[in-house]
Structure 1
Amino acid sequence: VDTFFGDTISMVVIMTCCVVGIIVNVFILVIGYLDWATRKKLPNCYMIVSCLSSSRLLLQGTVLYSTLCQGTHHWNVLRVQSALLVLSSTACLWFAACLSAFYCVKIATFTQRHFLLMKLRISGMVPYLLLGSMLVSLISSVPFIWTDFSVHLCNSTRSSVKNTTGDSTVGNISYFKVFILYLTWMTIPLLFFTASSTLLIASLWRHTKQMRRNMTGFKDLSTQVHSNAIKTLISFLVLYFCSFVAEILLGIPSCLAKSRWKHSICSFIVAVCPSIHSILLIFFNVRLKQTFKGILLSMRGRILSPFVLSFVLIIN
C-alpha cells in the first residue's frame, strides 16, 4: 500500500510539473510568435529562447507521456521514447549553451581582439548556431532507435527483461555503447555553457568592483541589466547541473541502480528544473514579465483575484 501511494504521489507531482512547464513554455512561444508577426523579425535573444522553449516542450511532453505509460515494455515504444528524450534533453543543453554564449559575448567587457571580433559577428552567427545545435541533437538521438534495451530494463526479480512482446526487430547496438555516446553528447554543451557563464560572471564581477571604486551615488542602469542577466545564468547553471546529473542517473541501466526512489526523484528533477527556469526567464525578461503581469491583472475581479494580486506583487 505504501508503495502504491508513493508511486501515485510521485506520478501526480511529476505530471503537475510537466503541465506547468508546458503552459509556461507555450506562453513564451506565443509571445515570441506575436513579436515576429508584428516586427516580421525576431531578435536573436528571443530566437534562442524560443528554440529553448520548443525543446523543453518536447522534453516535458515526452516525460509526461512516459509517466502516464510507465510499465510499457514494448520495444518500439521504448526506442521512440528514448530517442525523443535524448533529442529534447540534448537540444535543451545545446540551446542553453547558445544562450549563455550569446549573453557572454554581448554583455562581457573583455578587450581581447578575438573576443571583440566575436562580439561583432555573434548576431549573424545565431541562426547557424541554432541549426547546428538541432542537427547535433538529432544525430545524438538516432542510435537509440536501434538500441538493444534488454540490458537496460529489469523486472520484479531484478533480472533483465527479455523480449516477451513478440517484437522481432531487436536492436543490434549495445545500450552501454550508446549510453557512453549519449554521455559525451551531453557533456560537451554543458562544458561550453559552464565556460561562457564563468567568463560572464568574471566580467560582471570586475565591472561591479570598478563601480564600487567610482561610486557616484546614482544607480547604474547597465549594472541592473547585467545583474538580471547573471541571475538568469546562475539559476540556469544550477538547474542544468541538477538536470544533467538526474538525466545521467536515469540513463544508467536499471539493473545497476535498483532503487525505485532513484527513478522517481530523478524524473521529478528532470520535470521540474526546466519548468522553474522557464518561469525565471519570464521574471528576468522585461517583455515577458510585463505581458505576463498584464494577463494576471486582466483576471482581477474573478474568483482567483486574491491569488492573482498576490502573485503580481511577487513578480514586481
Structure 2
Amino acid sequence: METLIGMVANGFIVLTNVIDWQRSRNLSMTDLILTCLSLARLAWLAAVILGVTMVSFFLSTYAFDHVHLMFTIMWVFTNSVNLWFAACLGVWYLMKIAIFSHPIFLQVKRSLSGLVPWLLLGSVVLSAFMTIINVTALKTGSSIYNPYKLLVSNSNESEIRKAAFSEMFVIINTGQNFIPLVLFVLSIIFLIISLWKHMKHLQCDGVSTSDLNTKAHLTALKALNVSTLYPSGHAIILILLNPKLKQAWVRMMPNLKCHLRKTPS
C-alpha cells in the first residue's frame, strides 16, 4: 500500500506539472525541482518493485551476475539521484525564503534561478559517475559481490555472504550519499535559524508572528519534512502544501469518484 501510494502521489505531481508546462510553456523552478524529484522517486520505486519481484519469484535469474549487477546499479543510481534532488529542493527553499544579509548568501540567491537546471543535470551526471565507481569497486574488490548464486544452491555460506555484502553495500552507498544528505539537513537547520531570527525580530518590534514570511518558513520546513513514509508520505505532503498541486488534486477527486461509480463491479 505504501508503494502504491508513492507511485500515485509522485505520478500525480509529474503529470500535473507536465500538463501545466504544455499549456503555458512555462514551469517555475519549484515545479521543475518537484517534477524531477517525483520522477526520480518513481524510478526508485520501480527499481525496488522489480528487485523484490525478481528475488521473490525469479531468484535463479536474479542470481546471474549481469542481472544482479543491473539491479544493483538501478537501485544505487535512483537512490542517489533521489537524495541529490531532495538536496536541491532544500537549497532552493532556503535561498528563496530564508532571511540572511550575508553578501555571499545574497549573491547566490540572485543567481540561483539560472543555476537550478544545471544543478539538476549535474546531480544526474554526478550520481551516474559515482554509481559506476562504487559498483565497480564493490564488484572487483569483493568476493561476496553476488551471494544469490549460493542462495540458489541452498548453501549455508550464502547467508554469511549476504550479510557481508549488505554491510559493504551500506558503507559504499552511505559514502556516496553523504554530501547530498548533509546539504539537505543543513538547509533545514538554516531555515530554522532564519525563522527563529525572523520571529525574534517581530517580537522585538511588537508585531504579530503570524505574518506571511513566518508562514512561508513553516511551509518550507513542512515540505522538507523527512517523513517516515518516505517517499510516499513526503509526496503527499508536497501535494498538500503546494497550492497548484492541491487545487489539481481537489479537482480530480470528483471525476475519479464519478468514474469509479460508473465502473461495473
TM-score (norm 1): 0.70
In the alignment, residue 37 of structure 1 is paired with which amino acid? Q
**1:100-111 counterparts in 2 under 5 A?**
100-111=90-101
Match of 1:8 in 2: none
- After superposition, give the CA deviation of every residue in 1:150-204 in whole Å (9 maximum; x if it has no partner): 514263554148xxxxxxxxxxxx9987765433211111111111221111101
Structure 2 counterparts to residues 250-289 of structure 1, below 5 A: 272-289=229-246
8 Å contact 1:151–1:175 — kept in the other structure? Answer: no
**Could you list the per-position Cα deviations for residues 226-264 of structure 1 after superposition, in whole angstroms to 9, with x for gaps in the alignment?**
21111112x13xx4xx6xxxxxxxxxxxxxxxxxxxxxx
- Find the counterpart in structure 1 of residue 162 from structure 2: none
Aligned-partner Cα distance in 2 for 1:216–1:112: 24
The answer to whether structure 1 residue 126 and structure 2 residue 116 are counterparts is yes
Paired residues of 1:18 and 1:63 also in contact (CA < 8 A): no
**Is the contact between residue 24 and residue 279 of structure 1 (CA under 8 Å) also seen in structure 2?**
yes
Deviation at 1:49, TM superposition (A): 0.8
Residue type at the aligned position of 1:183: T
Show CA shifts across 1:286-308 (max 9, x none): 1111111111133456767xxxx
Aligned length: 243
Cα 1:217–1:182 change in 2 (3 A) is closer
| Structure 2 gap ranges (5+) | 160-164
Counterparts in 2 of 1:1-316, with a 5 A limit? 16-70=1-55, 71=59, 72-143=62-133, 144=135, 147=139, 150-152=143-145, 153=147, 155=151, 156-160=154-158, 180-216=171-207, 219-233=210-224, 235-236=225-226, 239=227, 272-299=229-256
Does structure 2 retain, via aligned residues, the 8 Å contact 1:21–1:275?
yes
Distance 2:247 2:204 in 1: 34
Measure how far apart 1:219 and its partner are.
Answer: 4.0
What's the offset of the Cα at 1:29?
0.5
Question: Aligned equivalents of 2:87 and 2:209: distance in 1?
Answer: 34
The residue identity in structure 1 corresponding to 2:126 is V
CA 1:105–1:150: 2 relative to 1, 3 Å: same
C-alpha change, 1:300 and 1:216, in structure 2 (3 Å) is farther
TM superposition shift of 1:48: 0.8
Identity %: 30
Task: Measure, in 2, the Cα distance between the counterparts of 1:120 and 1:221.
Answer: 21
The one-letter code matched in structure 2 to 1:110 is F
1:38: how far off? 1.9
Question: Is the deviation greater in 205-214 or in 222-231?
Answer: 205-214
Paired residues of 2:10 and 2:38 also in contact (CA < 8 A)? yes
| Deviation (angstroms), 1:61 | 0.3
**1:226–1:135: structure 2 CA closer, same or farther, 3 Å change rule?**
same
Asked if structure 1 preserves the Cα contact closer than 8 Å seen for 2:83 and 2:177, the reply is yes
